[in-house]
Amino acid sequence: MAAADVAAGQPATDSLNDPDESSNSPSEILATISRVNYPLNDPRVAPLIKASLHNVLDNVQYIGSFATFGTLPGAANPGIIVKDVEMVGLPLSFGVAQTVVAACHQTPFRKGSEMIVDASVRKSWELNAGEFSLQNQAWERTLHTVIGRVAEELGVAAGVSGVRAELYRLLVCGEGAMFKPHNSEKASGMFGTLAICLPSKHEGGNVRISHNGQTKVFDTAKSSEHGYSFMAWYADATHDVKPVISGHRLVLTYNLIYTAPGTPQTASALYEEKQKLHKIFTFWKKRFSSGETACPNMLAYMLGCKYKDAALQSSRRRGSDKLKARYLKEVSTEAGFYSYLANLGRSVEDVHQDHGRHTQRGGRNEDDPREGFHKLGGTCSDKVEVKKIFDLEGIMVAKEIPLKQTDIAQLEPPSKGPGHEGISAIHPYRNTILIIMPQEHNIEFLFEPAKRGKVDVKSWFKRLTRTLQDDPCNKLLRGELSQLCELTVALNKERLAEPTVGPYSHGPLDERKPFSNEVMGEVIKASLLLGNLHLFESALSAVYEVPPLEVYGDIGLFMLDFDVDKILEAYVTAADSSESLRLTQLCRTANTIARYPKIYERLGAIDRLVSGYNRSLHKEAERNEKYPILEQWAQRVIEEALATPPAVFTKDGAALAMISYSYVDSQFIFNRILPLVKAHSTNTAFAVGFLIHLPNPGGGKIAGDVVANVFRDVLADTIDNFTIQLTSSIVTKRQKSVFADSDWMMDRWYLLGQEEAHSGPGQIEGEDVATLVECCVSLGFTDEIGQLFAKISDTAQTVDPSALPHILLPFLGRLLEPLASDNVPLTAPSYHAFVSHLLTTYITRYIRPKPIHPNNWTRVCLGCGCDACNALDEFLISPTRRVGRFPVTKAQRAHLHRKLHGGACKLKTKRVGSLQELVITKTETIWQGQLREWEGRCGDAVSWFEEVGHVVDEEGVREVLREKFKDVVRLMGLEPPLTGDRCVDDVISLLND
């Protein structure tokens, strides 16, 4: 297709180039771009850019890098044989290295026609290819793999079949070895060098390769101890080797020979190939940045093959398409452009006009020879749409984005063909396209669909921030991220002002909902990374409810960048805290913390912020100087967080104990924390959570005696109010010890964040009660243990029996295991009596005797007193009648169905004309269900006894377990000595051992 034909609305005879030019070849177009200075808004600019892009991508031959590097997992040992050394073992030892060096000569370099040895230019030892051999045939497979990777990465046009690796030398580089910058000596047909670094531990010796102002540095030391690595570069690239700091670097070098017809490639040829597209992008960006209305903001290029979305997502592209995608990826990054992949859907509707003659009745004239022929009346509609868009790594970035036909570089006119009278012909097309745009347009391109929930905005922010962290000086990227933050904040504020249901979530989306708190958390992180205080404050105020807790760690990390030590001091010493809140961004942060509805969320935010700030203080002197003022700030914010506490949750108790570990002093505990905990001690789970997370006496900022006094005070109230209630769901089990070092803190906050909150009194886990007993043992609170046991025993008698297996058994199992492992004496008769009492309660209240098979057909009355129900009840209470037949109306039948729904009867309706007969048959469904449930309870009990039997060694407790297990077996109707149940026998044997 001629380049002129791609312009929508441009006649084919128009020239896209300078009026004096007539050729539209790639070279002519590129020359035109470089030479002609088009006036602003010149209508020839857009067609010229489209034609240039089309022609360059159509004619790209190869693309690659001037140098490449990689590791070789699973590489074979080459089996190096050196004269007088025999086999060189790998990894290379120091002794073998010295022996190999003794067999080598110093590495020379060519100066004119002479070979010169000069250690100030090249300091290393080498063996030429004829002075050693490679004996392991498996090495050829490794080498073939390497050549394939090198051919692809360097962009060799002929591929792996056009490359041969010719062994050149073995290099040994000891301490101080180095090469100054130089080009490779070229053999006949050679186009590059391959170096394979063998296992030999070393430090330093980085290889630096440069071409046309670009430099790559390869570090072979990272994988040198046990691994293989390779690097390759074009012969016209310059390379040097930095000094080896320690160890020996052992390298096999190969000349890369081009074996295909034609001239070998060079790095310069690759550079020139990239420059073709770079010139187009430079011209395009210049016109776009000037605000030219005629300049396209994006263009689409159709690939040769059509791919499914799955293929785009997995980067499975073929032939020249793969080459073009890589070409665009490399040049786009350098030139400040974005490139995407998408499947283009196009639907063209043609209107056909029938020119046949008709009879007077409007029928067709069958004798007219022109009848049946019609012509294309014209295109009625031509729609273009893109369903999903992927980046060149295969990650989906957006969906349902509109595209204009004029944005497609080589859109062909729709094919015209015959249709049928009176209808339209619809021609569907589908093509895979590359979408290309200046970086400045990317925000506009994606943000519009983002408003409709068609873009994963959270992932978008993550990609940009990750890229900026890798390239913090990229001004264009900083501007793009800043613009995205500002647009997101502005849109969220606008939507927050409207009545909404909530933020975006998965599923059908209301286009007027604000962005989720997770998205706004990414905005906050991005504003911190940009160092923009004003944007940070705006983002905080634009959150739907509260930011995700993890953002406070980022806030702490960036506080030094904002020079907040003075702000902190002003906030701590301010007489009017409300005035401080209006003056500083950090105080705004404190105000945001107070918006969290739960105490553990407020305290977790404070802890994350302080921990992040502490991690940013790299020097001990900085910690000593700056950290104390932050602690004062934390204490003040904690005080405000607890001033008006919301309803307490289970996790709040643990959170209050954890802040006592790091941030508050004894006075604060006695004045603020202790009264709060005691006021809510009726919530057993909350109080126990506080007790089991108190720090080890003397291990935190408060003294051991203070911890013991607080523990005893709260424990007394907890015992008085101790209750057990089954939760609606089983929360995450916590198996960590109550006493841990300071590194446990952040993990604990994370764990709290994963658990489901429960607010009802007494909703507790059995493991936590066992941990509380363990704490009492550690503190020597013997009397309190007895009181707690008595309370637990009493509570077990009144609690819902369904709570016993979920709370009572985990409590006993968790209690026996640590006490036995810690060698705590379990010989006290009172302890044996306690265990025996709980197991008896469990057996009698939960397992219960086997359900008795009913000896007659009497069932419970269900009627309401109406005539139909009276007849039903008479049938139900009869001990002999199993089947009842009831003549009923339609309404009566429906009424009896509702009464018997889910019961122990089977219902069947017989219809004879307009009459209905309801047949009710009594069944044993209820008893059978009760029996299955009872068998399940017995099986769970057997499993528990078997599990605990492996843990407990103390004979008194084992005797209790034996007796209670016999009770379970008797309930099951089995006598232990005579049972045929192998599982029961195994448990009995275990408990008797």
Write out pLDDT tens, residues 936-990. Answer: 888 888 888 888 777 666 676 777 777 887 777 777 765 444 344 445 555 556 5
pLDDT at 581 over 50: no
Residue 146: count other Cβ atoms within 10 Å of its Cβ: 20
pLDDT reported for residue 738: 28
Between residues 134 and 925, which one has the greater pLDDT? 134
Region 883-904: mean pLDDT is 85
- Mean confidence (pLDDT) of the chain: 77
pLDDT reported for residue 502: 55
Write out pLDDT tens, residues 494-541. Answer: 888 876 555 554 434 456 788 888 999 999 999 989 988 888 888 988
C-beta of residue 355 within 8 angstroms of C-beta of residue 414: no
The overall longest dimension of the chain from CA atoms, in Å, is: 123
pLDDT reported for residue 447: 92
Percent of the chain with pLDDT over 90: 20
Write the CB contacts of 73 (distance below 8 Å, at least 6 apart in sequence): 227
* Alpha-carbon torsion, ordered 95, 100, 106, 112, to 10 deg: -150
Write out pLDDT tens, residues 433-443. Answer: 889 999 989 99
Write out pLDDT tens, residues 169-209. Answer: 999 999 998 888 877 666 678 889 999 999 999 999 999 99
Q: Which uninterrupted H or E stretch holds 328? A: helix 319-335
Helical packing angle, 744-754 and 650-662, nearest 10°: 160
Between residues 412 and 683, which one has the greater pLDDT? 683
Write the CB contacts of 529 (distance below 8 Å, at least 6 apart in sequence): 465, 468, 469, 481, 558
Between residues 744 and 324, which one has the greater pLDDT? 324
For residue 575, what are the CA distances in angstroms to 174, 205, 628? Answer: 67, 60, 19
Write the CB contacts of 929 (distance below 8 Å, at least 6 apart in sequence): none
pLDDT at 377 over 80: no
C-beta of residue 437 within 8 angstroms of C-beta of residue 431: no
Q: Which residue is it, tokens 């105490």? A: 599
Region 354-370: mean pLDDT is 42
| Amino acid type, 386 | V
C-beta of residue 436 within 8 angstroms of C-beta of residue 298: yes
Cα–Cα distance for residue pair 222/440, rounded to 1 Å: 38
Using DSSP's 3-state secondary structure scheme, residue 682 falls into: coil
Region 25-44: mean pLDDT is 70
Region 928-941: mean pLDDT is 87
Residue 605: count other Cβ atoms within 10 Å of its Cβ: 29
**CA 65 from centroid of its chain's CA atoms:** 31
pLDDT at 332 over 70: yes
C-beta of residue 376 within 8 angstroms of C-beta of residue 350: yes
pLDDT reported for residue 204: 93
Using DSSP's 3-state secondary structure scheme, residue 197 falls into: strand
pLDDT reported for residue 533: 80
pLDDT reported for residue 155: 85
Residue 520: count other Cβ atoms within 10 Å of its Cβ: 28
Tokens representing residue 224 in the block: 């040198």
Residue 355: count other Cβ atoms within 10 Å of its Cβ: 11
| CB-neighbour burial class of residue 907 (10 A; exposed 0-12, middle 13-18, buried 19+) | middle
pLDDT at 417 over 50: no
Cα–Cα distance for residue pair 485/925, rounded to 1 Å: 63
DSSP 358: B
| CB-neighbour burial class of residue 3 (10 A; exposed 0-12, middle 13-18, buried 19+) | buried
| CB-neighbour burial class of residue 489 (10 A; exposed 0-12, middle 13-18, buried 19+) | buried
Using DSSP's 3-state secondary structure scheme, residue 4 falls into: helix
Write out pLDDT tens, residues 618-658. Answer: 655 555 566 676 777 788 888 888 877 667 888 888 889 88
Tokens representing residue 332 in the block: 């786009």
pLDDT reported for residue 2: 35
What sign has the CA pseudo-torsion 440, 446, 450, 456? negative
Closest CA to 838 of 803, 800, 804: 804
Cα–Cα distance for residue pair 23/597, rounded to 1 Å: 71
3-state helix, strand, coil in the chain (%, to 5): 45, 20, 35
Residue 662: count other Cβ atoms within 10 Å of its Cβ: 17
pLDDT reported for residue 382: 59
In three state form, how does the secondary structure of 814-839 look? Answer: HHHHHHHHCCCCCCCHHHHHHHHHHH
Using DSSP's 3-state secondary structure scheme, residue 427 falls into: strand
Tokens representing residue 627 in the block: 């950290």
pLDDT at 576 over 50: no
Residue 663: count other Cβ atoms within 10 Å of its Cβ: 21
Q: Tell whether omega for the bond before 91 is within 30 degrees of 0, i.e. cis.
A: yes
> Of 198-212, 583-597, 662-676, where does the model show the most confidence?
198-212
C-beta of residue 37 within 8 angstroms of C-beta of residue 49: no
Region 332-351: mean pLDDT is 78
Helical packing angle, 599-616 and 620-643, nearest 10°: 170
Using DSSP's 3-state secondary structure scheme, residue 581 falls into: helix
pLDDT reported for residue 247: 93
pLDDT reported for residue 363: 42
| Amino acid type, 753 | G
Tokens representing residue 258 in the block: 């081009």
For residue 611, what are the CA distances in angstroms to 464, 565, 616, 742, 753? Answer: 25, 15, 9, 11, 17
In sequence order, the β-bridge partners of residue 345 are 385, 430
C-beta of residue 909 within 8 angstroms of C-beta of residue 916: yes
DSSP 428-495: EEEEEEEEEEEGGGHHHHHHHHHHTT-B-HHHHHHHHHHHHHHSTT-HHHHHHHHHHHHHHHHHHHHH
pLDDT at 662 over 60: yes
pLDDT at 319 over 70: no
Write the CB contacts of 781 (distance below 8 Å, at least 6 apart in sequence): 711, 712, 715
Residue 667: count other Cβ atoms within 10 Å of its Cβ: 10
C-beta of residue 457 within 8 angstroms of C-beta of residue 481: no
Q: Which residue is it, tokens 């008896």? A: 840
pLDDT at 372 over 60: no
pLDDT reported for residue 988: 55
C-beta of residue 477 within 8 angstroms of C-beta of residue 333: no
pLDDT at 564 over 90: no
Write out pLDDT tens, residues 278-308. Answer: 889 989 998 888 888 878 889 988 887 787 8
Write out pLDDT tens, residues 712-768. Answer: 999 999 999 988 765 544 333 332 332 233 333 334 443 444 444 333 444 688 888
Write the CB contacts of 750 (distance below 8 Å, at least 6 apart in sequence): none
Write out pLDDT tens, residues 62-110. Answer: 778 889 999 999 999 999 998 777 789 999 999 999 989 989 999 888 7
Write out pLDDT tens, residues 422-434. Answer: 444 444 556 888 8
